[in-house]
Amino acid sequence: MLVLEKISKTYRTAQGEVRAVQEVSLEIKRGEFVAVRGPSGSGKTTLLLTAGGLLRPDNGSVRINGVEPFALSPEGRARFRAEHIGFVFQQFHLLPYLTVLENVLAAALPRPRADAVDRAKFLLEKLGLSARLEHLPSALSTGEKQRTALARALFHEPPLLLADEPTGNLDEANGRNVLESLAGYAKQGGAVLLVTHDPRAASLAHRSLMMESGRLLQADK
């Protein structure tokens, strides 16, 4: 589903070059949950953004379901992401003026579907949010916000799910809930890439890799 081949990305700053990702290769198949762990500044988020077609690498190639997203036009790449990739971020990125239900339904805008409302309600119920459908994000707990963001990411059942520190702002119980949801999605056939500090991810992922100074160093599972 996801194939990265010798991906490299360097940022040029006033202080000099920062080699965020250095010749990283990674393959994730359907039904596989892969966690990439490492300290802040190790290159995890850059790797994820590159894998999701949001950040063009300096070198190397990205293939998602056999397609090279960076070979597409910007418009084509945006459509491809909407159809094939779900994103979950630490900061949620919920629209503050939309309800929980409306935030999830926002995922339907690029690809309308007749069962949109039923699909959104099903996901929210599955994630324990059926009582929060009409609440605005400001009325939600941190865990509820992250579960709303997860429901939005899963709305179109994307073949590839990318999660960037989704448990970073959560307590123990809510963090476990999100990780179990990611693992469950992989069991249903999705490919899941999680980048995180959270050591609990190793117990649920099929593979847990370590990243340091832009390189994938080892697997501890």
What's the rounded Cα separation, in Å, for the pair 170 and 151?
A: 16
Higher pLDDT pick, 167 / 4? 4
CB 74 within 8 A of CB 169: no
Sheet holding 2-13, edge to edge: 16-28, 2-13, 59-64
pLDDT of residue 38: 87
pLDDT in tens, 1-33: 899 999 999 998 887 888 999 999 999 999 999
- Give the pLDDT band of residue 40 (cuts 50, 70, 90): confident
- Show me where the domains of the chain are located: 2-95+159-219
What's the rounded Cα separation, in Å, for the pair 116 and 150?
A: 16
Fold of 2-95+159-219: Rossmann fold (3.40.50)
pTM above 0.85, yes or no: yes
pLDDT in tens, 186-204: 999 999 999 988 888 878 8
